[in-house]
Structures are given as structure tokens and as C-alpha cells.
Amino acid sequence: MAMTIHVDIVSAEKSLYSGPAEVVIAPGQRGELGIYPRHTPLLTTLKPGAVRIKVPNQEEEELVYVSGGILEVQPNTVTILSDSAIRGADLDEAKALEAMHAAEEAMKDKAASIDYAQAQIELAQAVAQLAAIKKLRK
């Protein structure tokens, strides 16, 4: 039997995943993090992207999109806290494409009184959702 670590992924609205994992792969600010059982304790921020969880005795990885957040690794537990998170199966490609195009248009219109930083954040989140959908389809 493979070694496992307990994983909790929680958004502001609900808990999205709680259970064992052989490995967790998360989108860290400086690149992807691979977390295996007995990983060194760690606290880091996450950027928008897909968290992949290899569940024991399950062929397919669990995929959860997070809009960013915080990842904490303790000796036997990985905790991910995110403002918003969506299960991979619940991601809506059409909605993500629409959000991406709206953010791109808002950034192009220099005359509009928009919050440029907010438009950049929305664009990054939409692109990350589309990337998560792509990973899910593989």
C-alpha cells in the first residue's frame, strides 16, 4: 500500500476535497509544487491554477481549480485555503472564455475608467481556468 498524506481544500464557500493523497501538485507563485507524504513543513502562496491530487486506488487524478490562496504543509496534512475554488468537473469553458475576452477588452480600452489591476487578475484567473479544463481533458 502506498504512503498517503491527508489533503483538505477549502474555499470561502465550502470544503471541496478532504481525503488521502499519494501526491498533491499545486500552482505555487514560483512554479508547480509537488508534495508527497513526509514533505518538509511549508507555507506558501498559490497563484490561480489547477491543484492535482493523486488519490490512492484511483486511476484519474482529482482536479480542483483555485483562484490563488495559501498552501500549508504539515507532517501528515496538506491544507489549501482559497477565496474561490471549483471542482474540475464543474468548470465551465464557455464562461471562462467569456471572462477572458471581457478582461482583454477592458485592458485594451485605455479611455475607460477601469481598474487595470483587477482586469489583469480576472484575465489570469480565466486563463488558469482554461488551462485546468485542458488538463482535465487529457
* Helix or strand run (H / E) with residue 77: strand 77-82
Distance from C-alpha of 33 to C-alpha of 31, rounded to nearest angstrom = 6
- The pLDDT of residue 68 is 87
**CB contact at 8 A, 65 and 47:** no
- The pLDDT of residue 109 is 66
* Helix or strand run (H / E) with residue 58: none
Question: DSSP readout, 92-138?
Answer: -HHHHHHHHHHHHHHHH-TTS---HHHHHHHHHHHHHHHHHHHHHH-
**CB contact at 8 A, 103 and 127:** no
Is the pLDDT score of 107 beyond 90? no
pLDDT, tens digit, for every residue of 10-40?
Answer: 998 899 999 999 999 999 989 999 999 999 9
Is the pLDDT score of 92 beyond 90? no
**What CATH number should be reported for the domain whose range is 5-87?**
2.60.15.10
CA angle at 102 for the pair 130 and 117, rounded to the nearest 5°: 90
Distance from C-alpha of 80 to C-alpha of 51, rounded to nearest angstrom = 9
Amino acid at 41: P
If one compares 131 and 53, the residue with the highest pLDDT of the two is: 53
Domain boundaries along the sequence of the chain? 5-87, 90-137
- The pLDDT of residue 128 is 74
Pairing outcome for strands 23-28 and 77-82: unpaired
pLDDT, tens digit, for every residue of 38-83?
Answer: 999 999 999 988 899 999 999 888 889 898 899 999 989 999 999 8
- The pLDDT of residue 54 is 95
- The pLDDT of residue 15 is 92
- The pLDDT of residue 60 is 87
